[in-house]
Amino acid sequence: MKEFLEGSRAVAEVVKLCKPGVISAYPITPQTHIVEELARLVADGQLNSQFVNVESEHSALSCVLGAVAAGVRAYTATSSQGLLYMGEVVFNLAGLRLPLVMTCANRAISAPINIWNDQQDSVSLRDAGWIQLYAEDVQEAVDLHLIGYRLSEDKSMMLPVMVCMDGFILTHGIETVNIPAQEQVDKFLPQYQPLYKLDPQNPITMGSLVDPEAYTETRYALQKTQEEALKLIPKITAEFAKVFGRQYNGLIEEYRLKDAERAIVAMGSVCGTIKEVIDELRAKGKKVGLLKITSYRPFPAQEIYEALKNVGKVAVLDRALSLGSYAPLVSEIKAVFFGKKKKPQVASSFIVGLGGRDITKDSIKEVFRLLTARERPGEFIDLKPELLKESYE
Amino acid sequence: MSEFLFKTGHTACAGCGQSLAARLVIEASGPNTIVVNNTGCLEVFSTKYPESAWGVPWIHSLFENAAAVASGVESALKYLGKKDAINVIAQGGDGGTADIGLQALSGMLERGHDILYVCYDNEAYMNTGVQRSGLTPFDTNTTTSPVGSKSTGNILTKKPMPEIAAAHGIPYVATASVGFPQDVQRKVKKALGIKGPKYIQIHVPCPLGWRHESALTYEVARLAVETGLYPLIEFENGVFTGRKIVPRPVGEYLKTQGRFKHLLNNPEQLKIMQGIADDNIKKYNLSENISYGAQSAT
Using CB atoms, pick whichever of A62, A198, A210 lies closest to residue B57.
A198
The predicted-structure confidence for B172-216, as pLDDT tens digits, reads as follows 999 999 999 999 999 999 999 999 999 999 999 999 999 999 999
Using CB atoms, pick whichever of A21, A58, A96 lies closest to residue B76.
A21
A222 and A258 belong to one structural domain: no
A170 and A275 belong to one structural domain: no
Contact list in A for residue B22 (CB cut-off 8 A) is none
With CB atoms and an 8 Å threshold, state whether A92 touches B58. Answer: no
pLDDT at B295: 45
A88 and A180 belong to one structural domain: yes
Please report the domains of chain B, with CATH numbers, ordered by start residue: 17-247 (3.40.50.970)
pLDDT at A197 over 80: yes
Nearest by Cα to A205 from B267, B44, B153, B286:
B44
The pLDDT of A29-42, averaged and rounded, is: 98
pLDDT at A389: 87
Q: Check if the beta carbon of residue A280 is closer than 8 Å to that of residue A268.
A: no
The CA distance from B253 to B270, in Å, is 11
Residues of A with CB under 8 A from a CB of B: 21-22, 24, 48-50, 52-56, 58-59, 62-72, 74, 88-89, 92, 96, 197-200, 202-211, 214
pLDDT at B294: 42
Angle formed by the axes of helices A7-17 and A32-43, nearest 10°: 50
The pLDDT of A10-34, averaged and rounded, is: 98
Instruction: Give residue A154's region: left, alpha or beta (phi > 0; psi -120 to 50).
Output: beta
The predicted-structure confidence for B55-84, as pLDDT tens digits, reads as follows 999 999 999 999 999 999 999 999 999 999
From A213, A244, A275, the end of a domain falls on A244
The CA distance from B57 to B55, in Å, is 7
With CB atoms and an 8 Å threshold, state whether A63 touches B54. Answer: no
Kindly report the number of other CB atoms within 10 A of residue A95's CB atom.
Answer: 16
A195 and A325 belong to one structural domain: no
- CA max distance for chain B: 61
Contact list in B for residue A64 (CB cut-off 8 A) is 72
From A183, A214, A244, the end of a domain falls on A244
pLDDT at A337 over 50: yes
- CA max distance for chain A: 70
The predicted-structure confidence for B196-208, as pLDDT tens digits, reads as follows 999 999 999 999 9
CA A137 to chain CA centroid, nearest Å: 12
What is the domain count for chain A?
Answer: 2
A268 and A380 belong to one structural domain: yes
Q: Check if the beta carbon of residue A115 is closer than 8 Å to that of residue A166.
A: no
pLDDT at B293 over 80: no
The pLDDT of B13-31, averaged and rounded, is: 98
pLDDT at B292 over 80: no
- In order, the DSSP letters of B21-38 are HHHHHHHHH-SSEEEEE-
The predicted-structure confidence for B115-143, as pLDDT tens digits, reads as follows 999 999 999 999 999 999 999 999 999 99
Report the b/e string of B102-123 with b at 16+ CB within 10 A.
bbbbbbbbebebbbbbbbbbbb
Report the b/e string of B242-258 with b at 16+ CB within 10 A.
bbebebbbbbebbebbe
Q: What is the CATH number of the domain that holds A98?
A: 3.40.50.970
The CA distance from A339 to A337, in Å, is 6
Shortest Cα distance, chain B CAs vs residue A60, angstroms: 8
pLDDT at B137: 98
A192 and A306 belong to one structural domain: no
The predicted-structure confidence for A87-103, as pLDDT tens digits, reads as follows 999 999 999 999 999 99
With CB atoms and an 8 Å threshold, state whether A63 touches B62. Answer: no
Query: Kind and range of the H or E element at A392?
Result: none
For residue A317, name the pLDDT band (cuts at 50, 70, 90).
very high
With CB atoms and an 8 Å threshold, state whether A198 touches B104. Answer: no
Shortest Cα distance, chain B CAs vs residue A33, angstroms: 22
pLDDT at B296 over 90: no
The CA distance from B235 to B243, in Å, is 12
Shortest Cα distance, chain B CAs vs residue A47, angstroms: 12
With CB atoms and an 8 Å threshold, state whether A58 touches B55. Answer: no
Question: Is B71 at the interface with chain A, CB within 8 A?
Answer: yes
Torsion sign across C-alpha atoms A302, A306, A310, A311 = negative
Domain of A170 in residue numbering reads as 2-244
For residue B1, name the pLDDT band (cuts at 50, 70, 90).
very low
Nearest by Cα to A318 from A355, A351, A294, A347:
A351
The CA distance from A169 to A173, in Å, is 5
With CB atoms and an 8 Å threshold, state whether A65 touches B69. Answer: yes
A207 and A353 belong to one structural domain: no
A77 and A182 belong to one structural domain: yes
pLDDT at B250 over 60: yes
pLDDT at A50: 98
A109 and A181 belong to one structural domain: yes
pLDDT at A392 over 80: no
Pick from A22, A193, A205 the residue to mutate for testing the B interface (most B CBs within 10 Å): A205
Q: What is the CATH number of the domain that holds A381?
A: 3.40.50.920
Q: Check if the beta carbon of residue A68 is closer than 8 Å to that of residue A99.
A: yes
With CB atoms and an 8 Å threshold, state whether B62 touches A70. Answer: no
pLDDT at A12 over 80: yes
A122 and A267 belong to one structural domain: no
pLDDT at A161 over 90: yes
The predicted-structure confidence for A247-296, as pLDDT tens digits, reads as follows 999 999 999 999 999 999 999 999 999 999 999 999 999 999 999 999 99
Using CB atoms, pick whichever of A62, A209, A214 lies closest to residue B47.
A209
The predicted-structure confidence for B258-280, as pLDDT tens digits, reads as follows 999 999 999 999 999 999 999 99
Shortest Cα distance, chain B CAs vs residue A120, angstroms: 25
From A194, A227, A244, the end of a domain falls on A244
Using CB atoms, pick whichever of A22, A64, A96 lies closest to residue B79.
A22
The pLDDT of A212-231, averaged and rounded, is: 98
A62 and A173 belong to one structural domain: yes
- Cα A10 to Cα A38, A176, B65, B91: the distances in Å are 11, 10, 31, 39
**DSSP label at residue B55:** S
pLDDT at A210 over 50: yes
A305 and A159 belong to one structural domain: no
With CB atoms and an 8 Å threshold, state whether A22 touches B55. Answer: no
Nearest by Cα to A6 from A177, A163, A123:
A177
Mean pLDDT over each residue of chain A, to the nearest integer = 98
Mean pLDDT over each residue of chain B, to the nearest integer = 95
Q: Check if the beta carbon of residue B249 is closer than 8 Å to that of residue B224.
A: no
